[in-house]
Structure formats: C-alpha cells, structure tokens
Amino acid sequence: MRFSFLNLAKQALSAHRNWPEQWRFPETKASYDAIIVGAGGHGLGTAYYLAKEHGMRNIAVLEKGWLGGGNTGRNTTIIRSNYLWEESQGLYEHSVKLWETLSEELNYNVMYSPRGVMMLAHTVHDIQVFKRHVHANRLQGIDNEWLTTEQAKEFCPILNIEKNMRYPILGAALQRRGGTARHDAVAWGYARAASAMGVDIIQNCEVKGIRRDANGAVTGVETTKGFIGTKKIGVVAAGHTSVIMQMAHVRMPLESYPLQALVSEPIKPIMPCVVMSNTIHAYMSQSDKGELVIGAGTDAYTSYSQTGGLHITTHTLDAICELFPVARRMRMLRNWGGIVDVTPDRSPILAKTPVKGLYVNCGWGTGGFKATPGSAHVFAHTIARDEPHPINAGFTIERFKTGRLIDEAAAAAVAH
Ligand code: FAD
Ligand code: PYC
C-alpha cells in the first residue's frame, strides 16, 4: 500500500470490526522478500536502507498500532555518542554522523539540533566515571570535554550551583555535537522515503506467530490480517521483542520496563542545551515549541504498562526543581510512558539469530532514539547480506553466553 494520508486513514478505519472485508484487510501481498515487524524509527529506517542500499524493494513493514506510535513517538529525543566502549562508540558515532545529514537525505526536516548534551557529576564517583568517558571518547576522535562547576553554569545559566544543595554539582561532561531532533519526523521521513521506493507499510497488523519449515527456517508470519510469507523477518519491536521472539522459540535476555517523561506548558526560550543527571534521576531540555521536556528513570518493576508510577515522576520533579529553581512555578502540560527492553549489559542486540532467516534489533533500553539511523543502516546490511556489518558485529545474542559483554550501564545516563 502506498504512503498517503488517504491510505493511512483507510488503514486506521479498517481496524473497525464492522467494516467489509476489503476495508479491514487492505492489500497485503501473499509474500515479501523481507518483513520488518514494527514501524518505529528503527524498523522504518531498516526498510529504507534495505530498499536504497541493497535494492530490496519487495518489503513490508508490519505495525500492530500506528506508524511511530511506540517509543519513537514517546521519547525525549536526546542524541549523543559519548559511550565508553569501542563497539558502542562506533555504533552511536555512526548514528550521530547520519543524523547530521538526515534531513537532506530524506528531504524531510528532522529538526536535528546539536545544542550540546551536558551530564552532571554530583559525587566523586561521578567525576571519575565521566572523566573516564571523556578520555575514552577523545582517544577515538569523539568530542567530549570536562567542565568545572562554573563552566557548566556558563553553558546553562539556569543551573543551580549553590553548594548547599542536596547533591551539589561538582562538574560536568559536555558533548557539544550532542543534541535533539524531532521524534515523529524521523519516523515519517523514513516512511515516506521507503514508500516512494515501493515498501509497503501496513498498520493495524499485529504479528501473532512465526511459521517455520521442517529445517527450522522461517517461512512467514501469522498476523491479524492473515498469513504473509517471507524468508527473512527482522524483529524491531522495542518493549515487545521477547514476546515475538518466543513465537520462534528464541528466549531473549531482556526485561521490559516502563519509562516516562513529561512536558511543561510552553514558555519563551530559557534553556540552550540538554542537561542530564543520572545520579538524581532527572534530565531536561527545551523543545522548539517552548515546552520543558523532562524525563524520569525507569520504574523499579517490569511491566508492559505505557504509563509508569506517579512516585517516579514526583521524585524527578523534586530533583528538577532543585537543579533549576526557575522551573518551580511551572505547570505540567502532559505526561506519558513507553516500554523499553533492557539487556543485562545495557547495550543493544543487533544480530542474526539461531533461527535461519530471523534477525533481531532490540535491547536499546532507555537510549535507542539517538541510534535510529545508525542502527537501521547496519541492521539492513545484516538482513540483506545475512552477516553483520563490522559496526554491529559485537552486538550478538551469544555474548550473554560467552561473557563478552559491552557494559554501558554508566553511559545510559538514565536511572535504571
Ligand atoms: P518503537 O518506536 O517502539 O517501535 C516498535 C514498534 O513495534 C511499535 O510501534 C509497536 O507498536 C510495534 N510492535 C510491537 N509488537 C508488535 C507486533 N506483535 N506486531 C507488529 N508490531 C508490533 N532514547 C534516546 O536515545 N534518547 C532519549 O532521549 C530517549 N528518551 C526516552 C524517553 C522515554 C519516555 C522513552 C519511553 C524512551 C526513550 N528513549 C530515548 C528510547 C527510545 O525511544 C527507543 O530506544 C527507540 O525509540 C526505539 O525505537 P524502535 O523503532 O526500536 O521502537
Ligand atoms: O540515552 O541519552 C539518552 C537518554 C536520555 C533520556 C533517555 N535516554
């Protein structure tokens, strides 16, 4: 189905059970060369690069809800590549470089804004960890620098640097090329460009089963719109990966948690950058619409709820009011949650699986938005060539058996 507002509206209406068959089940082909499960930024981007760089045009992206309605449309859009280990630096830096030219590439303004991401240190441990990251990044040619407390205040004048705070600010790590983008624009930009190359994007189409032949290779997916055949399936369904992989009897090292965020009423610009504090569980930036965008840590319990505990938000707002006293009289406009899937080493899985024809892209936890273009680019390579791109070669499922982990718990920058 081609990408147009009329077709999208038809698909949305087709969810209604009383519509005639031809409306409820708009044209899906009987089979595709590849099927991507999940129309978030990573899934749509994968379809785009499969079509553009690997000449695979007979592809479908299947989405149980609506395009970009998962974490892609629910996140706080922080982009950065200041991770610790070489594997992660390679992956996230690849992504930041693609962000820099993505609007031109897609002819769609994704509003990438490299306004700087500053991570606050409140303890001696924080200082040591962040300085280690600064050095590790600079050795790889990735920008990251250490700021004193006063320099941090100069970079973000609304920051409270009083010494009598609960957790005084002792310094900060700053990645100037880090920043933000517009979440739904990424999804729509990739969707439009993929569709123009012939990719089918099918909403209201939930994958309920994975069929395999006698040798174990995939042969297609059972969906709410019927069976669709394919020899290649890419699962890109953040938060729900374990459920889908279980359909092929693959057990994943993942846990799903709610993660939430909120925005204030819109105000004139007061904040020039992104500020994050893992230690006190809060981060903030200001959107181009003027809202203060505030994020919390994950809930303490696994769940598939897209809301999250209220006590988590109130804890975060306490921290925000202490860090930015100017926010104390602001009102909240709306809050929401998403479901993130988290691996034991807080790094993603981006790989082939033990099942022939089944590929998985998951485990981004609280931090996969920044990775959208880079992840999609190397995942498309992995699916098309049936082997990983050098950039994602280390992000296997097997590392949880061999012990060759990529521990990025400290770089996650959001409380887990
Ligand atoms: P999604 O956008 O979630 O797409 C997956 C899709 O799969 C969904 O649309 C879902 O409906 C679909 N699906 C699920 N099951 C099925 C099925 N059975 N059949 C068909 N479709 C299915 N990351 C950052 O880098 N920076 C941030 O600032 C940041 N902030 C965040 C704040 C919050 C509150 C949250 C929740 C997340 C945040 N993240 C952030 C993480 C980031 O949002 C995700 O890692 C990223 O968006 C994942 O993209 P995706 O395309 O893999 O998943
Ligand atoms: O990974 O930078 C990040 C992030 C910020 C907020 C949520 N995730």
Given a cut of 80, whether residue 4 has pLDDT beyond it is no
Ligand 2 touching residue 88 (CB < 6 A)? no
Question: pLDDT tens digits for 113-165?
Answer: 999 999 999 999 999 999 999 999 999 999 999 999 999 999 999 999 999 99
DSSP letter string, 128-147: HHHHHHHHHHHHTT---EEE
Work out the average pLDDT over 277-289. 93
Can you list the domains of the chain with their CATH numbers? 5-74+184-253+345-402 (3.50.50.60), 117-176+255-342 (3.30.9.10)
On the question of pLDDT at 267 being above 60, the answer is yes
String of DSSP letters for 284-351: EEE-TTSPEEEEEEE-SS----SS--HHHHHHHHHHHHHH-GGGGG--EEEEEEEEEEE-TTS--EEE
pLDDT in tens, 349-396: 999 999 999 999 999 999 999 999 999 999 999 999 999 999 999 999
Smallest CA separation from ligand 2 atom 2, residue:
78
Place of tokens 């087709």: 14
Is residue 147 lining ligand 1, measured as CB closer than 6 Å?
A: no
Task: Please indicate whether residue 83, judged by its CB atom, sits closer than 6 Å to ligand 2.
Answer: no
pLDDT over threshold 50, residue 265: yes
Work out the pLDDT band at 259, boundaries 50, 70, 90. very high
- In short, whether 283's Cβ falls inside 6 Å of ligand 1 is no
Q: Find out whether the beta carbon of 108 lies less than 6 Å from any atom of ligand 2.
A: no
Gap from CA of 372 to ligand 1 centroid (Å)? 10
Instruction: Give pLDDT, residue 3.
Output: 56
Quick check: 17 pLDDT over 90?
Answer: no
Rounded distance from Cα 16 to ligand 2 centre (Å): 36
pLDDT at 182: 96
B/e letters for 36-69, b = 16+ CB within 10 Å, e = fewer, are: bbbbbbbbbbbbbbbbbeeebbebbbbbbbbbbb
Model confidence at 10: pLDDT above 90: no
Tell me what the pLDDT averaged over the chain comes to: 93
Instruction: Convert 217-278 into a string of H (helix), E (strand) and C (coil).
Output: CEEEEEECCEEEEECCEEECCCCCHHHHHHCCCCCCCCEEEEEEEEEECCCCCCCCCEEEEC
Any atom of ligand 2 within 6 Å of the Cβ of 293: no
Q: What is the pLDDT of residue 15?
A: 47
Sign of the C-alpha dihedral, residues 86, 90, 91, 93? positive
- Nearest residue CA, atom 14 of ligand 1? 237
pLDDT of 21 over the 60 cut? no
Nearest-ligand number for the alpha carbon of 371: 1
pLDDT of 28 reads 78
The closest-lying atom of ligand 1 relative to the alpha carbon of residue 365 is 45
Residue 59 Cβ < 6 Å to ligand 2: no
Residue 223 Cβ inside 6 Å of ligand 2? The answer reads no
- Is residue 102 within 8 A of residue 93, CB to CB? The reply is no
Strands 200-202 and 332-342: unpaired
Ligand 2 atom nearest to 80, measured from its CA? 2
Residue 323 reports pLDDT greater than 80 = yes
* pLDDT at 24 > cutoff 50: no
Q: How confident is the model at residue 412 (pLDDT cuts 50, 70, 90)?
A: confident
Q: How far apart are CA 208 and CA 212, in angstroms?
A: 14
Around Cβ 156, how many Cβ atoms within 10 Å? 23
Q: Within 13 Å and on the Cβ side, how many CA atoms surround 158? A: 20
What pLDDT is stored for residue 281 in this prediction? 86
**Two tokens, residue 361:** 């892209």
pLDDT at 23: 42
Please identify, by atom number, the ligand 2 atom nearest to the C-alpha of residue 79: 2
Does 76 sit in the ligand 2 pocket, CB within 6 Å?
Answer: yes
The per-residue pLDDT for 12 is: 53
In this structure, are residues 237 and 37 in contact, taking their beta carbons and an 8 Å threshold?
yes
Question: Do 258 and 339 meet the contact criterion of CB atoms below 8 Å apart?
Answer: yes
Q: Is 376 in the pocket of ligand 1 (CB under 6 A)?
A: no
Determine how many CB atoms are found less than 10 A away from the CB of residue 254.
23
pLDDT of 252 > 80? The answer is: yes
Burial class (CB in 10 A: 0-12, 13-18, 19+), 101: exposed
In this model, does residue 5 exceed pLDDT 70? no
Please tell me the distance between residue 79's alpha carbon and the centre of ligand 1 in angstroms. Answer: 15
* Chain centroid offset of residue 10 CA: 28
Q: Would you place residue 172 in the very low, low, confident or very high pLDDT band (cuts 50, 70, 90)?
A: very high
The whole-angstrom separation of Cα 102 and Cα 93 is 14
Residue written as token pair 């509206």: 9
At 16 the pLDDT is 45
CA proximity to 194, closest of 379, 292, 57: 57
Q: Is the pLDDT of residue 8 over 60?
A: no
Ligand 2 pocket residue status of 367, Cβ below 6 Å:
yes
Q: Is the CB of 39 under 6 A from ligand 1?
A: yes
* Residue with the larger pLDDT of the pair 310 and 34: 34
Which pLDDT value is given to residue 20?
Answer: 44
- Per the CB < 8 A criterion, the answer to whether 94 and 378 are in contact is yes
Q: What is the pLDDT of residue 18?
A: 47
Closest ligand 1 atom to Cα of 371: 25
